[in-house]
C-alpha cells in the first residue's frame, strides 16, 4: 500500500473534484459513454430525469479504495470509465481479486447490509454513485431496471463459476491464457490487448504469484503465442492456440 489513498472526488465537492478531474461534470445520462451498455439502458430517454436526480458522478484516482470490505453498504456504483479491482483479503494480507469492473459494469450487488468485498481504482476511474435508498426507489418505479439488474447478476454468477473452474482446476498456463482471452473480449476482440493492471493484480486475480505470472508470459512469448505491443499492451499471435490452451486442451 504505497499511496496514501487519495480521497474520493464527487460532484458534491466541486473544488476538490477540480483538483483531480480538471472540471466537474454534472451527470448527463443521455450522453453518457456507458448509456447503451450499462444497467441504465433499461430506462427510457424520457425517464432519464429521474435517473439524473438519483445519481452523483465521481472521479476516483488510481489506488483509491472507494469500497471497503465489511463497511456498511450505503452506495452502489456504475463504472463509466477506467478499470476497478474488486477483491477480498485474508487477515495476513493474502488477496484475491474477484473481478475487474470496466465501463458499463455495476458494482455493489450485495443484498446484505454490508459490502462483502473491497473495490479499488486500477487507473483513473469515473463512476456514477446511487444511494441504496434511491436505488431501491428506482427499482420500485422501473421494473425493467430491476429485470436488467437480475440479468446482470445472473451473468456475473456464470462468470463467477468460470472463475471457480479456473482457480480450482486450471494450470498456471491455462489461467493466463484464459485471462488473455477474457481481456481480448473486453478490448473488442482485436489481437492487441490492454493490460491496465500490474502483474501483482493479475496474480491476485488468477491465484498465482507475480513471478509465476511473469514466467508464464515469458514462456508464451518464447513459444510465439504472444508479443509485446507497447508498455502495457500485448499482442496475441495465435488466437486459436491460445483459446485451446485456455479451454484446458493444453499443448
Contact residues toward DNA (CB under 7 A) are 2, 171-173, 198-200, 207-215, 217-218, 231
Q: Which does 35 bind (CB under 5 to 8 A by kind): a copy of itself, DNA, none?
A: none
Work out whether strand 65-67 and strand 95-101 pair parallel, antiparallel, or are unpaired: unpaired
- Binding range to a copy of itself, per CB under 8 A, among 9-17, 50-58, 184-192, 199-207: 199-207
Find out whether 246 and 178 touch, Cβ atoms under 8 Å: yes
Residue 132, CB half-sphere, CA atoms under 13 Å: how many?
A: 12
Binding mask 37-76 for a copy of itself (x = CB under 8 A): ----------------------------------------
DSSP 8-state assignment for residue 42: G
Report, in Å, the least distance between residue 179 CB and a copy of itself.
Answer: 13
Contacting a copy of itself (CB under 8 A), which of 160, 211, 218, 230? 160
Place of cell 502495457: 232
How many residues bind to a copy of itself according to rule CB under 8 A?
44
Binding partner selected for residue 92 from a copy of itself, DNA, none, CB under the kind-specific 5 to 8 Å limit: a copy of itself
The strand pairing partners of 60, in sequence order, are: 125
Cα 157 to Cα 19: distance, rounded to the nearest angstrom = 38
Grid cell at residue 186: 473486453
Cell of 106: 455495476
**Shortest reach from residue 188's CB to DNA, in Å:** 22
Compute the distance between CA of residue 203 and CA of residue 214 in angstroms, rounded to an integer: 9
Going residue by residue from 117 to 156, which x/- string records binding to a copy of itself, judged by CB under 8 A?
Answer: x---------------------x---x--xx-xxx-xxxx
Identify the CA nearest to 54 among candidates 109, 110, 131, 142: 131
Among 26, 36, 45, 94, binds a copy of itself (CB under 8 A): 94
How far apart are alpha carbons 249 and 243 in whole angstroms? 9
**Under the rule (CB under 8 A), what is the footprint of a copy of itself?**
86, 88, 90-92, 94-96, 98, 109-112, 116-117, 139, 143, 146-147, 149-151, 153-158, 160-165, 167-170, 204, 206-207, 247-249
Amino acid at each position: 500500500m504505497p499511496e496514501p489513498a487519495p480521497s474520493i472526488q464527487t460532484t458534491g465537492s466541486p473544488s476538490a473534484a477540480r483538483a483531480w478531474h480538471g472540471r466537474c461534470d454534472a451527470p448527463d445520462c443521455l450522453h453518457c459513454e456507458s448509456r447503451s451498455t450499462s444497467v441504465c439502458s433499461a430506462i427510457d430517454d424520457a425517464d432519464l430525469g429521474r435517473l439524473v436526480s438519483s445519481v452523483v458522478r465521481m472521479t476516483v484516482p488510481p489506488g483509491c479504495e472507494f469500497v471497503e470490505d465489511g463497511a456498511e453498504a450505503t452506495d452502489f456504483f456504475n463504472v463509466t470509465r477506467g478499470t476497478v479491482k474488486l477483491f477480498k483479503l485474508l487477515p495476513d494480507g493474502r488477496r484475491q481479486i474477484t473481478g475487474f469492473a470496466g465501463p458499463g459494469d455495476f458494482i455493489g450487488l450485495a443484498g446484505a447490509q454490508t459490502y462483502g468485498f473491497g473495490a479499488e481504482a486500477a487507473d483513473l476511474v469515473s463512476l456514477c454513485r446511487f444511494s441504496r435508498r434511491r436505488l431501491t426507489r428506482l427499482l420500485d418505479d422501473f421494473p425493467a431496471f430491476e429485470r436488467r439488474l437480475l440479468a446482470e447478476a445472473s451473468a456475473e454468477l456464470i462468470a463467477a463459476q468460470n472463475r471457480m473452474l479456473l482457480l480450482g482446476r486450471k494450470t498456471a498456463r491455462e489461467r493466463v491464457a484464459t485471462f488473455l482471452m477474457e481481456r481480448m473480449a473486453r478490448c473488442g476482440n482485436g489481437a492487441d490487448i490492454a493490460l491496465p493492471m500490474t502483474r501483482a493484480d493479475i496474480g491476485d486475480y488468477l491465484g498465482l504469484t507475480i513471478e509465476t505470472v511473469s514466467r508464464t508470459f515469458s514462456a508464451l512469448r518464447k513459444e510465439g503465442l504472444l508479443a509485446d505491443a507497447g508498455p502495457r499492451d500485448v499482442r496475441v499471435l495465435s488466437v486459436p492456440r491460445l483459446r485451446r490452451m485456455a479451454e484446458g486442451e493444453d499443448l
